[in-house]
Structure 1
Amino acid sequence: MNKPKIIWLNVIIFLITFLIAAVAVPYRAFTHGFDTAEIVMAVICFIYCGMSITAGYHRLWSHKTYQAHWSLRFIFALGGAFALQNSALHWSSDHRIHHKHVDNNDKDPYSAKKGFWYSHIGWMLREYQASRYSNYDNVRDLQKDKIVMWQHKHYLLLTIAMNFGVPIAFGLINGDLISAILLIGFLRLVLSHHTTFFINSLAHIWGKQTYTDKNTARDNGILAFFTFGEGYHNFHHIFENDYRNGIRWWQFDPTKWLIKGCEYLNLTTKLRISPEDKIEKAKLSMTLKRTQLRIAQHPNAEAMLDKLEQEYDLVVSKLNAFYDAKKQLIATKKAELLSDVENSELNKQYVELKARFNEQKKRFTLMTAKLA
């Protein structure tokens, strides 16, 4: 079969920006140097672009994990144009197709099963799915967002204004136009591009499948550090409607912190989170599956598997009982049905069920560790 036509504009943009960032920026640093103001501004612009994609394009518009004030949406729209990754409407349309048909080489726009190069950047260099640029049926909800449509209509003008205007304006103010264009313009753009592209490529290759193995997505804390929290990709692909990617307090997810922080300023509302019991069950299920595969060839595999499954059934039953009690306790507190909830029989039952669940979970974890 003949390969689709090359999109020369994309090839030229990616090639020229990368060569300038890889050659001209180091040369300028060696021969002239960059001052502190230029470096700080470049970092700020990189963060602004990255967070506009992760908090705006991804978690707000693609997945509707929260709602945002018009002023915040406007800031994200400008930052998305600065990041030069197409309009929010088109980006979200592509991403929803990716989630719906993940790893399907015929339908997933950047299927990881077609290799690292394709999922990282190759899918944008040829007209593999030209129809995607005219069919936006899957983002009809976003077509009701005036800011999304304003950005989509004026995308080219906005990208030129942001990618040339910001570096040039700063360069004129700081007194070094060339350095500003190289650092804040080209290097910042290349870093913005490839850190985002890593989510389509590396995040489907490198890391752990903590919650599901039904797709290639992985959890990777190192990748999360460079992608503003997007590296917890295995979690995201099974719980895509959660505004968080790193759900533990110690997991690096500045996008989550930004969204939650803006809630205190009344800039974000209706933050969606996945039920804790479903998250716990998904993780336990993957632990069971990995352990089953490890001991499948053991001489005593049948007996070991029976025991393992018994422990798994016990931990799931105790998990269900604990979370049912937790939900009942929360509902009671909200309805104010008890004057002293903390000393009630319901709370005592909740505490006891929590202890039983944690003890059984510990037993199950120790058993799977021994069978490793």
Structure 2
Amino acid sequence: MKTAPISWLNVIIFLVTGLIALFAVPYYAFTQGFTALEIVATILCLGFCGMSITAGYHRLWSHKSYSAHPIIKFILALGGAFALQNSILHWCSDHRNHHKHVDNNDRDPYSAKLGFWYSHIGWMLREYQGEEYKNYNNVKDLQKDKIVIWQHKYYLILAIVMNFGVPLVIGLYTDRVLAALLSVGVLRLVLSHHFTFFINSLAHIWGKQTYSSAHTARDNGFLAFLTYGEGYHNYHHSFEYDYRNGIRWWHFDPTKWFIKAAYYLGLAKNLRTAPEERIEKTKATHKMQLLREKLTAQPHNQAILEKIETEYDLLITRMSAFYKAKKLVLELKTQQLEHDYKHSEVYAQFIELQHKFNEQKQKFWQLHIAHHPA
């Protein structure tokens, strides 16, 4: 990595806030203590900052995975300034470069291949990108968004007002200004920073590559808990336009729930999702590729590989037939009453194909586990 000038502003912010959170906050907690109100306020403000990054900077503006009402956009823009991670325009420009050039040490702003420290925080401590850091050619669409431009223009003022004003108001209300500044101000900021930075670092190092090994991104349920659903990162890099990161109902993804709730309230629309068939096929194809790589290296496993290839081909065939039938059933459902379409021949064929698809999927998965348990 090329040598670059130190970004002293970033170094000072991370160093000072980090030291205060590491030493002053525990000392105050031990000697004075924090009230329940201060603890709750810290947690709520931490969530506000985190969700403003995930639902706003990331899924709304970087990937355009949904459209939001101006009220939602305004609130998320304030929360982004509160999170102190630069303006929407700047953040999204970096993030789009990350996706476009993922793992390219020269083009990915926070390439995980340069190590945990670099991808977590090191990339912000020096001006590695030079003038390219201020090149917004890849976010021209966002330059048409009035709220994005307003936040970018007044980012410094908004960041100062949010990071000092919110804790100060809480402190004046409780008559404990120092306590609020330490907990709601500094501790909240440091946690917000590092929880978000985990997406760039740990989420590319720790977890499973469920859908692809073409990039370093991993799926990790524990990181999803810390990052408001962003821990399902292998899925995200495979289907970046999906408003969900955790696609199953049991996946912890409060950002997805927030967006869906906003949709039901009429405050969000155009929610984009990856087609279910494409998700299933991508996952199966990735598993097959892993098996090929492992078994091809061992000539005596040729017969096993041929058997698995046959089962994989059958899986893809049954998958395609099932999703075609599912599409027909959905079309039929919109045309007839529920009791009518469920007694139709099309629906009966759909149920049969669903059974065959699930049976074949289970068979293929068992073969994968037996020959590639990792």
Tell whether 2:348 aligns with 1:348: yes
Name the TM-score, length of structure 2 as normaliser. Answer: 0.97
Between stretches 297-306 and 25-34, larger displacement belongs to 297-306
Tell whether 2:100 aligns with 1:100: yes
TM-aligned CA deviation for residue 133 of structure 1: 3.8
The residue correspondences of 1:98-137 to structure 2 (distance < 5 A) are 98-137=98-137
**Could you tell me which residue of structure 1 aligns to residue 370 of structure 2?**
370
Letter in 1 for 2:42: A
TM-aligned CA deviation for residue 336 of structure 1: 5.0
TM-aligned CA deviation for residue 337 of structure 1: 10
Aligned to 1:340, the other structure's residue is in SS state: helix
**Could you tell me which residue of structure 2 aligns to residue 14 of structure 1?**
14
What is the CA–CA distance in structure 2 between the aligned matches of 1:54 and 1:339, rounded to whole Å?
Answer: 42
Letter in 2 for 1:354: Q
TM-aligned CA deviation for residue 289 of structure 1: 2.2
In 1, are the aligned partners of 2:295 and 2:302 still within 8 Å (CA)? no
What is the CA–CA distance in structure 2 between the aligned matches of 1:265 and 1:103, rounded to whole Å?
Answer: 39
**Could you tell me which residue of structure 1 aligns to residue 197 of structure 2?**
197
TM-aligned CA deviation for residue 150 of structure 1: 0.5
What is the CA–CA distance in structure 2 between the aligned matches of 1:370 and 1:107, rounded to whole Å?
Answer: 39
The residue correspondences of 1:43-192 to structure 2 (distance < 5 A) are 43-192=43-192
In 1, are the aligned partners of 2:221 and 2:232 still within 8 Å (CA)? yes
What is the CA–CA distance in structure 2 between the aligned matches of 1:132 and 1:50, rounded to whole Å?
Answer: 27
Structure 1 gap segments, 5+ residues each? none
What is the CA–CA distance in structure 2 between the aligned matches of 1:336 and 1:136, rounded to whole Å?
Answer: 51
What is the CA–CA distance in structure 1 between the aligned matches of 2:190 and 2:132, rounded to whole Å?
Answer: 24
The residue correspondences of 1:324-339 to structure 2 (distance < 5 A) are 324-336=324-336
In 2, are the aligned partners of 1:46 and 1:188 still within 8 Å (CA)? yes
**Could you tell me which residue of structure 2 aligns to residue 36 of structure 1?**
36
Tell whether 2:59 aligns with 1:23: no
The residue correspondences of 1:199-348 to structure 2 (distance < 5 A) are 199-298=199-298, 300-336=300-336, 340-348=340-348
Q: Percent of pairs identical after alignment?
A: 62
What is the CA–CA distance in structure 2 between the aligned matches of 1:249 and 1:281, rounded to whole Å?
Answer: 20
In 1, are the aligned partners of 2:2 and 2:128 still within 8 Å (CA)? no
In 1, are the aligned partners of 2:60 and 2:67 still within 8 Å (CA)? yes
In 1, are the aligned partners of 2:111 and 2:119 still within 8 Å (CA)? yes
Letter in 2 for 1:320: S
What is the CA–CA distance in structure 2 between the aligned matches of 1:300 and 1:332, rounded to whole Å?
Answer: 50
Between stretches 327-336 and 221-230, larger displacement belongs to 327-336
For residues 260-284 of structure 1, the C-alpha deviation after alignment (integer angstroms, 9 at most, x for no partner) is: 0111111111111100011001111
Aligned to 2:218, the other structure's residue is in SS state: coil
- Residues 2 and 53 of structure 1: is their aligned pair in 2 closer, same or farther, counting only changes over 3 Å? closer
- Residues 2 and 135 of structure 1: is their aligned pair in 2 closer, same or farther, counting only changes over 3 Å? closer
What is the CA–CA distance in structure 2 between the aligned matches of 1:54 and 1:2, rounded to whole Å?
Answer: 30
In 1, are the aligned partners of 2:102 and 2:111 still within 8 Å (CA)? yes
What is the CA–CA distance in structure 2 between the aligned matches of 1:9 and 1:299, rounded to whole Å?
Answer: 58
Letter in 1 for 2:80: G
TM-aligned CA deviation for residue 131 of structure 1: 2.2
Aligned to 1:282, the other structure's residue is in SS state: helix
In 2, are the aligned partners of 1:332 and 1:338 still within 8 Å (CA)? no
Aligned to 1:333, the other structure's residue is in SS state: helix
What is the CA–CA distance in structure 2 between the aligned matches of 1:339 and 1:51, rounded to whole Å?
Answer: 42
What is the CA–CA distance in structure 2 between the aligned matches of 1:168 and 1:336, rounded to whole Å?
Answer: 60
What is the CA–CA distance in structure 2 between the aligned matches of 1:184 and 1:84, rounded to whole Å?
Answer: 14
What is the CA–CA distance in structure 2 between the aligned matches of 1:335 and 1:130, rounded to whole Å?
Answer: 59
**Could you tell me which residue of structure 2 aligns to residue 357 of structure 1?**
357
What is the CA–CA distance in structure 1 between the aligned matches of 2:105 and 2:270, rounded to whole Å?
Answer: 35
What is the CA–CA distance in structure 2 between the aligned matches of 1:334 and 1:233, rounded to whole Å?
Answer: 35
What is the CA–CA distance in structure 1 between the aligned matches of 2:309 and 2:2, rounded to whole Å?
Answer: 51
Between stretches 343-352 and 17-26, larger displacement belongs to 343-352
What is the CA–CA distance in structure 2 between the aligned matches of 1:126 and 1:209, rounded to whole Å?
Answer: 31
Two-structure CA RMSD over aligned residues (Å): 1.5
What is the CA–CA distance in structure 2 between the aligned matches of 1:191 and 1:132, rounded to whole Å?
Answer: 29
For residues 98-120 of structure 1, the C-alpha deviation after alignment (integer angstroms, 9 at most, x for no partner) is: 10110111111111111111111
In 2, are the aligned partners of 1:94 and 1:132 still within 8 Å (CA)? no
- Residues 43 and 338 of structure 1: is their aligned pair in 2 closer, same or farther, counting only changes over 3 Å? closer
Length, aligned pairs only? 372
- Residues 361 and 2 of structure 1: is their aligned pair in 2 closer, same or farther, counting only changes over 3 Å? closer
For residues 36-74 of structure 1, the C-alpha deviation after alignment (integer angstroms, 9 at most, x for no partner) is: 000000000000000000000000000000000000000
Aligned to 2:6, the other structure's residue is in SS state: coil
What is the CA–CA distance in structure 2 between the aligned matches of 1:244 and 1:338, rounded to whole Å?
Answer: 29
- Residues 199 and 2 of structure 1: is their aligned pair in 2 closer, same or farther, counting only changes over 3 Å? closer
What is the CA–CA distance in structure 2 between the aligned matches of 1:132 and 1:44, rounded to whole Å?
Answer: 35
What is the CA–CA distance in structure 2 between the aligned matches of 1:131 and 1:240, rounded to whole Å?
Answer: 27
